[in-house]
Amino acid sequence: MRHTLPIAPQFYVTAPQPCPYLEGRMERKLFTALQGDYAETLNDSLSKQGFRRSQNVLYRPSCAECAACLSARIRVADFVPSRTQRRIARRNADLTRRANAPWATEEQYALFRRYLDSRHADGGMADMDIFEFAAMIEETPIRSRVIEYGRPDADGGSALAAVCLTDVLDDGLSMVYSFYDPADARASLGTYAILDHVAIAREAGLPYVYLGYWVPGSAKMGYKSRFSGVEIYVRGSWQTLGDPASYSADTHPLSTDPIAEQVARISLPDSLPTRG
């Protein structure tokens, strides 16, 4: 008699390194490879459990004494733009949207460099060269799109104003990474990109827009809590964000469970391949 055993993905933990969101903290990530014929199935499943994609890796924060990073997504059906967000949409009504295959261009990289130099000059991506940028955009084993936003220029053409690398999941859109023209600060292009992704998801009948991690106490991540219909992934389930001020970024030695327990609770899709 033969038995079949699932070929489960292997999970690993990164070495601690300085946290990019909260000063004085050390971050650690739980991660697994994303590859093969079942990459989309695994990505869909783990995205619903708070994981994020970076090229061919899926990861989730797993810090020793901190659980501040919370995966956030917008429930499209419950989203209602605020007065400020409606003003931002009107301010950017002249933008055109192009959805392309995940292919990096020199124009994108030039905008990316201006964005980093202005907004994240001391961040972990500050030294990224054009080849690393191309890898970030192009190394995807799943269904991804590069959403470009262009603004009419003085010559009658279109100048690249914002870019978002977006994954298409079975239940929504995941905004993997976005960047925009830092010289056009008044346009609030980061907010506009989220508003437009909500519109795209609504048109496609997809219920969620995944925003990445919201971190209470981090000014860099505070904007995510200003969207209505936001829910966060906390201890195994999604729940309405509610009052952002009610969440704490305090550390505690029991904030996170041991790695083995975390891995044991990850739900894997039934359709992964099996070994005879």
Q: What is the pLDDT of residue 253?
A: 73
How far is the C-alpha of 152 from the C-alpha of 174, rounded, in Å?
A: 27
Residue 42 contacts residue 19 (beta carbons within 8 Å): no
The model's pLDDT over 100-109, given as tens digits with 9 standing for 90+, comes to 999 999 999 9
- Return the bridge partners of 27, or none: 17
How far is the C-alpha of 60 from the C-alpha of 30, rounded, in Å?
A: 5
Task: List the one residue out of 197, 175, 193, 195 whose CA is nearest residue 184.
Answer: 193
The architecture in CATH of the region 5-275 reads 3-Layer(aba) Sandwich (3.40)
Which pTM value belongs to this model? Answer: 0.92
Q: What is the pLDDT of residue 184?
A: 87
39-66 average pLDDT score = 95
Sign, CA dihedral 189-194-195-201, equals positive
Rounded alpha-carbon distances, angstroms, from residue 47 to 77, 96, 155, 167, 169: 19, 29, 42, 11, 8
Residue in the structure block whose two tokens are 């690398």: 165
- Domain map of the chain by residue range? 5-275
Q: What is the pLDDT of residue 272?
A: 65
195-211 average pLDDT score = 98
46-65 average pLDDT score = 95
| Percent of the residues in the chain that have a pLDDT greater than 90, as a whole number | 67
How far is the C-alpha of 44 from the C-alpha of 35, rounded, in Å?
A: 13
Confidence of residue 7 (pLDDT cuts 50, 70, 90): low
pLDDT at 123 over 70: no
Mean pLDDT of the chain, nearest integer: 90
Q: What is the pLDDT of residue 4?
A: 40
Q: What is the pLDDT of residue 64?
A: 86
DSSP-H helix ranges across 39-163: 39-47, 83-91, 106-119, 130-138
- The kind and range of the H/E element at 199 are helix 189-204
pLDDT at 221 over 70: yes
Q: What is the pLDDT of residue 273?
A: 59
1-20 average pLDDT score = 74
Rounded alpha-carbon distances, angstroms, from residue 154 to 95, 105, 115, 243: 14, 22, 22, 44
E runs forming strands in 19-171: 26-27, 29-33, 52-54, 57-61, 70-75, 96-100, 144-152, 158-168
Residue 92, Cβ neighbours under 10 Å: how many? Answer: 21
pLDDT at 51 over 80: yes
Three-state secondary structure call for residue 223: helix
Tally of CA atoms within 13 A in the half-sphere of 137 that contains its CB: 25
The model's pLDDT over 227-262, given as tens digits with 9 standing for 90+, comes to 999 999 998 899 999 888 888 887 777 778 888 899
How far is the C-alpha of 99 from the C-alpha of 149, rounded, in Å?
A: 9
